[in-house]
Amino acid sequence: MAKKKTVFFCTNCGNESPKWEGRCPACGEWNSFKEHTVAPTKTKGRIENNQIQNKAVPLSQTPSETTERIDMKSQELNRVLGGGLVIGSLVLLGGEPGIGKSTLALQVALQLEELKILYVSGEESLQQLALRANRLKHKNDNCLVLAETCIENIIPQVSDTNAELVVIDSIQTLFSETIDAVQGSVTQVRTCASMLMQLAKAKNIPILIIGHVTKDGYIAGPKTLEHMVDTVLQFEGDRHNEFRILRATKNRFGSTSELGIYEMRQEGLREILNPSEILLSQSQEELSGSSVTASMEGDRALLVEIQALVSSAAYGTPQRTSTGFDTRRLNMLLAVLEKRMQFKTLTKDVFINIAGGLKVYDPAIDLSVIISILSSSVDIPVSKSYCFCGEVGLSGEIRPVSKIEQRIKEAEKLGFTKIFIPQGNKKNIKTSTKIEIIGVGKIQQLAKLVFD
């Protein structure tokens, strides 16, 4: 009879070691190794694949057919997934507690009326699922629910129900009888995820897994969990704010630069198809320190309001605080203002906020940040009909940005009359627009055009 053995796993990356180590040699994390007892593997939970043994073939002879996808009945989710859910893929959905992961998964399952769906819940009872379904006001007789946590009992149900889509809520609640470890441990999570991956590839059915996150916002469990799945989706937002943002941090079948925006309501999540109208202030009053920028998230153009507040420092060290914007980049832009425009910030607090709770990493919003800071400092409002787009360099030059025509069209669609863009982009514009396009090369030139 095979004996049980003791191994050590890194809780950060999943690296395995026969002995305890103070620092993980794979990821460099300190005190991350935990002891686990591994039982001998049984064949009970193994997924058999009766296909012919694989043989090596030339890449030129491999069929390159278009990947078959499932329409999720949600434009936002389809956009983030890259056009729909790929058949046979394993998707991991993570997010903060109470952010709406289970609501999104159940809402999508109830909307796909033409598919046979198996929704496995390890956290909620069938009565709790029924209450949530009633709140969502969706009915789907093809959506079967199962309250189970043993992976060996879940796998036969997939075949018995002829499920075409499986939802697991959540991976941390599952356990395998072949492993002598508690639920949610590194060994259990990795084993259950591996069995689900075999199931998805052998049966050629997509599986959506919901995962917990740590206090730092990372997917709980070993890092190998994210490596095993095909797509990792991150559901973000403030529980006290109604807006939710869906991002893809990993996608083997599409781009990771797309995002979807939802609004949490009593009856479920509502898609925000035109987020620019939601993210912009509806007030007609012009206030200093506020400007609008045209940013890109993947192939989607978003108009975002940048708010700045410049005030005298109450303490010796001035504050530099930003919400939704990189603080290091803010310090760089303040240094450029001080060097190139003699704008003194040594005795001033500077606060930057991106309205709507978005986190924007597009460097094209630099121009709007500069204008908002200057507007708040001199207390002169920026016209609400102006839009800004451009990256600011260390010498004060305004550098060209990508996809400028899409940004211009979005600003024109929302009624802006002027858009300030880099001079290098203006000569490449070929389409005619009604909005006035003003090319600028230096931040000094921009300040004169806006405030004079």
Ordered per-residue pLDDT tens for the chain, 452 residues:
456 677 887 877 777 788 888 988 877 888 888 887 665 555 444 454 444 456 788 878 777 666 789 999 999 999 999 999 999 999 999 988 888 999 999 999 999 999 999 999 998 999 999 999 998 888 888 999 999 999 999 999 999 999 999 999 989 999 999 887 788 888 889 899 999 999 999 999 999 999 988 777 778 777 788 989 999 999 988 766 788 889 999 999 988 888 888 988 888 899 988 888 777 876 677 889 999 999 998 778 889 999 999 998 877 788 999 999 999 999 999 999 999 998 888 889 999 999 877 888 899 999 999 999 999 999 999 999 999 999 999 999 999 999 999 999 999 988 899 999 999 998 888 777 889 999 999 999 998 999 87
CA gap 101, 99 in Å, rounded? 6
Point out the annotated binding site. 95-102
Point out the annotated binding site for ATP. 95-102
When the candidates are 3.20.10.10, 3.30.230.10, 3.90.79.10, 1.10.1420.10, the CATH number that belongs to 278-451 is: 3.30.230.10
The SS3 call for residue 102 is helix
pLDDT tens for residues 80-102? 999 999 999 999 999 888 889 99
**pLDDT computed for residue 49 by the predictor:** 47
Q: 371, 388 in Cβ contact below 8 A?
A: yes
**pLDDT computed for residue 116 by the predictor:** 94
> Could you tell me the strand order of the sheet in which 268-271 lies?
143-147, 117-121, 165-169, 207-211, 90-95, 231-236, 243-251, 259-265, 268-271
**pLDDT computed for residue 121 by the predictor:** 94
Segments making up each domain of the chain, as ranges: 5-38, 69-273, 278-451
DSSP state, 145?
E
**pLDDT computed for residue 338 by the predictor:** 92
Say yes or no: domain 69-273 is CATH 3.40.50.300: yes
Nearest C-alpha neighbor of 365 from the set 339, 394, 330? 330
Entry pTM: 0.75
